[in-house]
């Protein structure tokens, strides 16, 4: 099987920890709870791509990466994840993910591939996880659920020098359908910092979760 992502994509993600790439129209969207969120307008879709920079104070980068990769555990702590599992599609492994949307909107689902690499960069340990939608996978669409066909995400994690983790997150998501502007803004302004808070809590509880399994 060919590599899902190129080396350059992993390098591009971790380099943002050192030098955020914000030329070409990126604007500071909001700063809250120690998290800075930048956005870039996408002319083709009328939507925004986001870059997030922040610190998780109480968990190590390796633990963050393990928690991020554990799909079963995410169903335990992410209240928006209705279904989330790996599946084999004609010999290719992909992830199916259904996300709860507030009534009266339809839920969204994703079929995507991902790859994690634990890097050693001149003695620095950096964890990078890349993901992108894989619409070519033969996964039937569900009635009443909208399939997201344009999704990408990259995450880079490195120690903050203490007990915490520096985080870089880049994502674009075209949910399709008619999404009210207030919901898009809420998801970016509140949803992302909220997700990082939930993630930090999930890291704290991961050991006891693993012991219960």
pLDDT at 108 over 80: yes
Domains of the chain: 7-211 (3.30.530.20)
pLDDT at 1 over 60: no
pLDDT (mean) for 157-181: 89
Q: Would you call 24 helix, strand, or coil by DSSP?
A: coil
Q: Under 8 Å CB-to-CB from 87, ≥6 apart: which residues? A: 93, 94, 95, 96, 139
Strands (E), 122-211: 124-133, 145-148, 151-159, 165-173
Over the chain, what is the mean pLDDT?
91
Whether residue 37 contacts residue 189, with contact meaning beta carbons closer than 8 Å, is answered with yes
172 forms bridges with which residues in the sheet? 152
126 forms bridges with which residues in the sheet? 119, 158
Confidence of residue 63 (pLDDT cuts 50, 70, 90): very high
Predicted TM-score (pTM) of the model is 0.92
Q: What does the pLDDT look like over 113-125, one tens digit per residue?
A: 999 999 999 999 9
pLDDT at 161 over 70: yes
Q: Which residue has the higher pLDDT, 45 or 130?
A: 130
Distance CA 74, CA 54 (A): 20
Q: Would you call 19 helix, strand, or coil by DSSP?
A: coil
């Amino acid at each position: 099987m060919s590599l899902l992502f190129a080396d350059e994509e992993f390098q591009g993600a971790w380099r943002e920890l050192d030098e955020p790439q914000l030329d070409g129209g990126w604007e500071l969207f909001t700063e809250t709870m120690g998290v800075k969120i930048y956005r870039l307008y996408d002319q083709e879709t009328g939507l925004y791509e986001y870059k997030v920079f922040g610190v998780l104070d109480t968990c190590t980068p390796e633990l963050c990466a393990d928690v991020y990769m554990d799909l079963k555990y995410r169903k335990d702590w992410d209240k928006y994840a209705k279904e989330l599992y790996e599946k084999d599609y004609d010999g290719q492994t992909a992830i199916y993910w259904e996300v709860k949307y507030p009534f009266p909107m339809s839920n969204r689902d994703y079929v995507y591939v991902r790859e994690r690499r634990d890097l050693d960069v001149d003695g620095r340990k950096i964890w990078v996880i890349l993901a992108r939608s894989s619409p070519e996978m033969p996964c039937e669409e569900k009635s009443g659920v909208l399939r997201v066909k344009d999704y990408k995400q990259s995450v880079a994690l490195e120690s903050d020098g203490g007990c915490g983790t520096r985080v870089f997150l880049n994502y674009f998501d075209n949910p399709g359908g008619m999404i009210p502007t207030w919901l898009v803004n809420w998801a970016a302004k509140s949803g992302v910092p909220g997700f990082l808070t939930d993630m930090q809590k999930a890291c704290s509880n991961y050991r006891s979760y693993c012991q219960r399994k």
